[in-house]
Amino acid sequence: MPELVVTALLAPSRLTLKLLRAFMWSLVFSAALVAAAVYGCIALTHVLCRPRRGCCGRPRRTPPACLSDPTLGEHCFLTLKSSGLRLHYVSAGCGNGPLMLFLHGFPENWFSWRYQLWEFQSRFHVVAVDLRGYGSSDAPKDVDCYTIDLLMTDIQDVILGLGYPKCILVSHDWGALLAWNFSIYYPSLVERMVVVSAAPMSVYQDYSLRHIGQFFRSNYVFLFQLPWLPEKLLSMSDFQILKTTLTHRKRGIPHLTPNELEAFLYDFSQPGCLTGPLNYYRNIFRNFPLEPQELAMPTLLLWGEKDPYFELGLVEAISSRFVPGRLETHILPGVGHWIPQSNPKEMHQYMWAFLQDLLD
């Protein structure tokens, strides 16, 4: 068929897709402006209630002692083959078994996996990374440096750079969004997957379009589409919005100590260190609309019944995409979003059972 005819036949579909994307972006930025007004009022309230803190965040000069706890492992750096970037990671149990690689979420870092590093280093080589843009890892400023494809390549380079052919991939929140994609496009590098509190992007997209409540739960995603303003709002009143996110009585991490809170704020308080993590969100709509994908990786999915950010209905939506027999799901009653830190004992129990046949 002549190329001109093919082009003519595809023209209506291409035009429809362009119009759909234009409409989507108009909705996204409209929602971003509304979210900016709401979060701007919240940030201003924090400043007025705590005027001594001022409008800017206070850079922490000294990291809290818990970040250098030797029982958690050794601090190392790995230069990635594909990008040349250096990623920071904490490693323990080298030589004790298969590689167990941990991917954190936002607003966190490698320290969010402290309980799992203690628990599994006796039978696995446990490695918790600071993802690109976080903590002591390199943080390019350009938004285009944080596409899903580049972030997946980082994970590939970490696994192979550590000398392993595959890993057990354990992930939470943003780390889990990456892990879902990674298991689809790099299945040979993943032996098993443990996912906590996050859905694949295509599932999240389709579910959100049918359940408006999920859009309201994810309102911060729209705020983060804007340049520079989210960084300013998050840092106001000495990072009070981040503090509230992590310590809120109902939505935060239960029993988080002041030192542990500082373990997260230390990195974010350094000049420019919020931009890299927020650039993840600025790429989240880049590939809209996403095609449905079949999921086949043997996966343990843990979900909090009271997760304030993701509706419980997403669990069923995830299950509907899986090859039968490949997904094991546990919903933790009365539990929120931060399962690796709030409910480590239950998480460890499910993980040991899920991985037992690999250790026998």
DSSP string covering 281-323: HHTTTTTPSPPP--B-S-EEEEEETT-SSS-THHHHHHHTTBP
Q: How many alpha carbons lie under 13 Å from residue 239 in its C-beta half-sphere?
A: 22
Query: Peptide bond before 324: cis, by omega within 30 degrees of 0?
Result: no
Note the maximum CA span of the chain: 72
Cα–Cα distance measured from residue 347 to residue 340, given in angstroms and rounded to the nearest whole number: 7
**267 noted as active-site residue:** no
**What three-state secondary structure class fits 327?**
strand
Question: CA distances (Å), 125 to each of 119, 171, 353, in order?
Answer: 11, 16, 18
Q: How many CB atoms lie within 10 A of CB 198?
A: 27
The pTM of the full predicted model, rounded to 2 decimals, is 0.94
Q: Is 337 a catalytic residue?
A: yes
Angle subtended by helix axes 229-247 and 258-268, to nearest 10: 170
CATH topology of domain 65-207+297-358: Rossmann fold (3.40.50)
Q: Where in the chain is the domain with CATH 3.40.50.1820?
A: 65-207+297-358
Residue tagged active-site, from 281, 307, 309, 350: 281
Query: How many CB atoms within 10 Å of residue 37?
Result: 11
How does pLDDT run along the chain (360 residues), one tens digit per residue? 566 655 555 556 566 667 767 777 788 889 999 999 999 999 999 999 888 887 888 999 999 999 999 999 999 999 999 999 999 999 999 999 999 999 999 999 999 999 999 999 999 999 999 999 999 999 999 999 999 999 999 999 999 999 999 999 999 999 999 999 999 999 999 999 999 999 999 999 999 999 999 989 999 999 999 999 999 999 999 999 999 999 999 999 999 999 999 999 999 999 999 999 999 999 999 888 788 889 999 999 999 999 999 999 999 999 999 999 999 999 999 999 999 999 999 999 999 999 999 987
Question: How buried is residue 197: exposed, middle or buried, by Cβ count under 10 Å (0-12/13-18/19+)?
Answer: buried
Q: 173, 206, 267, 307: which one is catalytic? A: 173
Catalytic residue chosen out of the listed positions 104, 125, 172, 337 = 337
| Residue 281 appears among annotated catalytic residues | yes
